């Protein structure tokens, strides 16, 4: 199974015997916070980054910042986000790499909303290998689709986010998740790094559940 997934993602993990590389592997905590749109990734990442002193990278936030500042990247990202589609991999992967490079002294990262495709997962694995680091866990917030739609419509009343304002666009985002993103569970399951957490309850209750996983890493 893992062999076929490795082939699918084109991954070539090199085993290192270098001691400093091994200690880097131990020292850093890198977590992929995963889940469908509206699962609460951004909400929980805000809490967890303080708790564990990790750098929080949200590709969605980077795109929204660029939209707000009317950059070329913002214009491009908006043309996809407004339809509920994913921004192309090449652009998103470059953004992620640049965000990681800005934080060379980090204790580790919370990746929020990245990876979302097979190509992004492959790029993240390669980046970690280059840095003698690894992804310690994919922690997934599990929430029913109808609850997601309700949460996002609710946020749309005040957020000003066009992708939250229209139920059709919200449902397209969820469909895009099942088309391109959901498959990544298998990728991390095959490495024994997948942890599913019930994402329904109060924000505080869910943080306790997430900490129950992260504290064991």
- Residue 124 touching ligand B4P (CB under 6 A): no
- Residue 63 touching ligand B4P (CB under 6 A): yes
Length of the chain: 217
Active site residue 155: yes
Options 9, 30, 35, 122; binder of ligand B4P; rule CB under 6 A? 35
Active site residue 19: no
Q: How far is 17 from 179, CA to CA, in rounded Å?
A: 39
Active site residue 41: yes
- Binders of ligand B4P among residues 142 to 161 (CB under 6 A) are 151, 155
Q: How far is 61 from 66, CA to CA, in rounded Å?
A: 9
Q: How far is 1 from 180, CA to CA, in rounded Å?
A: 19
What are the beta bridge partners of residue 153? Answer: none
Interacting residues of 85 by C-beta distance below 8 A, sequence separation 6+: 172, 176
Indicate the residue among 60 and 108 with the shorter CB distance to ligand B4P. 60
Q: How far is 173 from 156, CA to CA, in rounded Å?
A: 14
User: Could you tell me the two tokens for 164?
Assistant: 């939250």
Indicate the residue among 77 and 133 with the shorter CB distance to ligand B4P. 77
User: Could you tell me the two tokens for 64?
Assistant: 């929204």
Active site residue 64: no
Q: How far is 92 from 200, CA to CA, in rounded Å?
A: 29
Indicate the residue among 32 and 133 with the shorter CB distance to ligand B4P. 32
One of 131, 161, 171, 211 is an active-site residue; which one? 161
Options 32, 54, 81, 174; binder of ligand B4P; rule CB under 6 A? 81
Please give the positions annotated as active site.
41, 116, 155, 161, 173
Q: For binding to ligand B4P (CB under 6 A), which residues are involved? A: 35, 37-43, 58-60, 63, 80-81, 86-87, 92, 113-114, 116, 120, 151, 155, 163, 173, 201, 203, 206
């Amino acid at each position: 199974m893992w062999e076929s997934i490795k082939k699918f993602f084109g991954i070539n993990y090199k085993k290192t015997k270098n001691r400093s590389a091994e200690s880097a592997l131990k020292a850093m905590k890198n977590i992929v916070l995963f889940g469908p749109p509206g699962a609460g990734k951004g909400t929980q990442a805000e809490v967890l980054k303080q708790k564990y002193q990790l750098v929080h990278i949200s590709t969605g936030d980077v795109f929204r910042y660029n939209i707000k500042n009317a950059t070329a990247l913002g214009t491009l990202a908006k043309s996809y986000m407004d339809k509920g589609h994913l921004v192309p991999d090449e652009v998103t992967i470059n953004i992620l790499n640049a965000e990681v490079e800005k934080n060379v002294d980090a204790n580790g990262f919370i990746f929020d909303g990245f990876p979302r495709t097979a190509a992004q997962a492959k790029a993240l694995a390669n980046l970690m290998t280059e840095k003698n680091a690894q992804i310690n866990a994919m922690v997934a917030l599990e929430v029913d689709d109808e609850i997601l739609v309700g949460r996002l419509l609710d946020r749309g009343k005040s957020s000003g986010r066009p992708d939250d304002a229209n139920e059709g666009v919200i449902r397209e985002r969820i469909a895009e998740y099942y088309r391109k993103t959901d498959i990544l569970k298998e990728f991390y399951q095959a490495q024994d790094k997948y942890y599913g957490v019930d994402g329904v309850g109060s924000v505080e209750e869910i943080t306790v559940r997430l900490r129950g996983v992260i504290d064991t890493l």
